[in-house]
């Protein structure tokens, strides 16, 4: 990723962090965190990766809600990030923490089995 892509991705992440967190709280999705943003080389698309913890709704349901409100989040980006074109937002669920937790459980059970 180029330096410009990284800078724009960082700005998009900063601008969207609070609104998405608030949106998650209002929709009882728990704690939603943007884990990363990846920009396309032409800066027309922003892939936003989100992790969700402790909500009353499933992460997939939360992503569906985000998709429905995508235009509002795009307006926020357009107003606060100075670009010629406002990037199209695409939301993805980041399950990295769940995978880490699963691996840690497997490793700890293996340690118990060896003892």
Q: Where are the domains of the chain?
A: 3-114
**Residue 104 pLDDT:** 84
Mean pLDDT of the chain: 91
3-state helix, strand, coil in the chain (%, to 5): 55, 20, 25
Strands (E), 40-85: 45-53
Residues in the chain, total? 115
Give the tokens for residue 15.
């601008």
**Residue 115 pLDDT:** 66
Q: Using one digit for the tens of pLDDT, what is the confidence trace for 86-106?
A: 999 999 998 887 778 788 888
Q: Using one digit for the tens of pLDDT, what is the confidence trace for 45-73?
A: 999 999 998 888 888 999 999 999 999 99
DSSP H or E stretch at residue 79: helix 70-80
How is domain 3-114 classified at the CATH fold level?
GMP Synthetase; Chain A, domain 3 (3.30.300)
pTM over the 0.85 mark: no
Strands (E), the chain: 31-39, 45-53, 88-93
């Amino acid at each position: 990723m180029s330096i410009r892509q990284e800078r724009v991705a960082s700005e998009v992440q900063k601008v969207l962090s609070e609104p998405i967190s608030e949106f998650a709280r209002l929709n009882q999705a728990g704690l939603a965190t943007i884990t990363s943003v990846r920009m396309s080389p032409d800066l027309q698309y922003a892939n936003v990766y989100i992790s969700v913890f402790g909500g009353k709704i499933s992460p997939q349901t939360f992503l569906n809600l985000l998709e429905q409100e995508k235009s509002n989040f795009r307006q926020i980006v357009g107003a606060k990030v100075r670009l010629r074109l406002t990037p199209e937002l695409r939301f993805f669920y980041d399950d990295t923490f769940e995978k880490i937790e699963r691996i840690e459980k497997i490793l700890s059970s293996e340690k118990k089995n060896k003892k």
